[in-house]
Structure 1
């Protein structure tokens, strides 16, 4: 794919933050690797979307984010160590309102869940390009009522999907297993068919998708490693691995970011596709 020339006005994408709770202090954060990969290989500019505490109702929050995201050309759902809470995406009010246990470091991040639920709803309304990474792929699936396995390690199917905590962080992002690209899909049009060798740092996972969602790559144990939304004419796509980590040297990662960037610049030029 042809990269966007750097002398044209770049598209602007919203990138989801995560909530960090340390010493009783709440912070929004995300790793620089996402921004670096998006700026360099998608050729877009980034704004960080803040997490949501749930003090406003979901409908009030939706109205607020429609105003913000109508100025954007794409949405990126980042990864994080926390597991997502499906109740947020299922619109159960019990989990939407702020609660004392909303954030458990390394385990739960409901402020991020609320952000992704709202951002996905608005992006779908606007037919906006979406790129989901790791947790972001799971959010895309659950948002469309897909099932979520809470702990893949309990399935014992032979493929280890979580990282090894006993090696340095950079080594945790090295490729560890293969995935089969589904022929004829969006991913195959970007990187070709066959197997990809990918990194894997997740505890939750999906093996089935709901209506309007297409499998794009699958691991040997049946865990879905890439998906796309089929109800929009634009790029709305997610991967379970982390293409941002080695984007500077990995051609497959660069192709994925470039495809997303091209979709964002097309959206910037024409707006939502009709029909």
Structure 2
């Protein structure tokens, strides 16, 4: 259930999309589970932010000032750090920008532009899986190219299980420790949690402007927040959108994000 405050003011949140190239046709897409979780459990409405080609890096900026929050979604593609840290560095769109499960530079450009605007406007940010990694790279951190290369046993712990049905792949995979002096602890209400964290890349060096909020037994950072943010700006490595109807931590995370978006909306009444 969402609060009466969230019901009285319907904040608008931007959700990052991904680029899909099939049969020579470009499509922007995202899973509806993000939209459902935001509407039902954050109490906000949403707009889908389109991915960005190299010759149009400023296309998403006009809408960002009208939003009350940003969700950086997950995706199977890896982050191209050079593109995310310098989205205008190339002048032409290449078919090599997109390879299923490998790279999605149009998404990298979108995320870089959207994060910059969200930080400038002081709006809430919720990064999910790839979204946490994007925040880390944007602020100057680095990623393990593959967790299986970093530590083979850790790679197995964080990897998807393709032999399971899709919804069962997003069941709990491992535990995390939550720091007691961070912004996640008041949301979680505990220093330990079980999460459904599935990913290939992971944080190697955490960016200086980010504060680790949770980590696994192998030492990998699984949540981080923006230091000094005046609102909730956090990324988590797991997928709270997948089983939000039955998972208490997921409900609390979306509720906290929704309340932060409503507060931002009220401060900037248009």
Instruction: State the shift of 1:269 in Å.
Output: 0.5
Q: Are the counterparts in 2 of residues 181 and 187 from structure 1 also a CA contact under 8 Å?
A: yes
- The residue number in structure 1 matching 2:66 is 71
Secondary structure in 2 aligned to 1:215?
A: strand
Instruction: State the shift of 1:5 in Å.
Output: 4.3
| 1:151 correspondence with 2:146 | yes
- The residue number in structure 1 matching 2:25 is 25
Using structure 2 for the length normalisation, give the TM-score.
0.94
Q: 1:110 aligns with which of 105, 108, 125?
A: 105
Q: Are the counterparts in 2 of residues 44 and 261 from structure 1 also a CA contact under 8 Å?
A: yes
Q: 1:257 aligns with which of 236, 250, 254?
A: 254
- The residue number in structure 2 matching 1:34 is 34
Consecutive unaligned residues of structure 2, counting only runs of 5 or more, are none
| 1:142 correspondence with 2:145 | no
Cα deviation code 1:166-214 (max 9, x no counterpart)? 1111111010111100111000011123211111210000043122210
1:224–1:8 Cα change, 3 Å = same
Comparing 215-224 and 187-196, the one that deviates more: 187-196
1:175–1:96 Cα change, 3 Å = farther
Cα deviation code 1:27-69 (max 9, x no counterpart)? 110001000001011000000000001113x4xx1xx433211
Cα deviation code 1:7-40 (max 9, x no counterpart)? 4130000000001111221111000100000101
Cα deviation code 1:117-145 (max 9, x no counterpart)? 00001001101100000000000110000
| 1:240 correspondence with 2:237 | yes
Instruction: State the shift of 1:2 in Å.
Output: 6.8
Structure 1: distance between partners of 2:6 and 2:180: 32
Secondary structure in 2 aligned to 1:167?
A: coil
Consecutive unaligned residues of structure 1, counting only runs of 5 or more, are none
Instruction: State the shift of 1:252 in Å.
Output: 0.6
Structure 2: distance between partners of 1:69 and 1:254: 26
Instruction: State the shift of 1:146 in Å.
Output: 0.6
Q: How many residue pairs get matched?
A: 267
Structure 2: distance between partners of 1:93 and 1:67: 17
- The residue number in structure 2 matching 1:124 is 119
Comparing 35-44 and 15-24, the one that deviates more: 15-24
1:126–1:255 Cα change, 3 Å = same
Q: 1:85 aligns with which of 75, 80, 83?
A: 80
Q: Are the counterparts in 2 of residues 4 and 261 from structure 1 also a CA contact under 8 Å?
A: no
Q: 1:172 aligns with which of 169, 172, 190?
A: 169
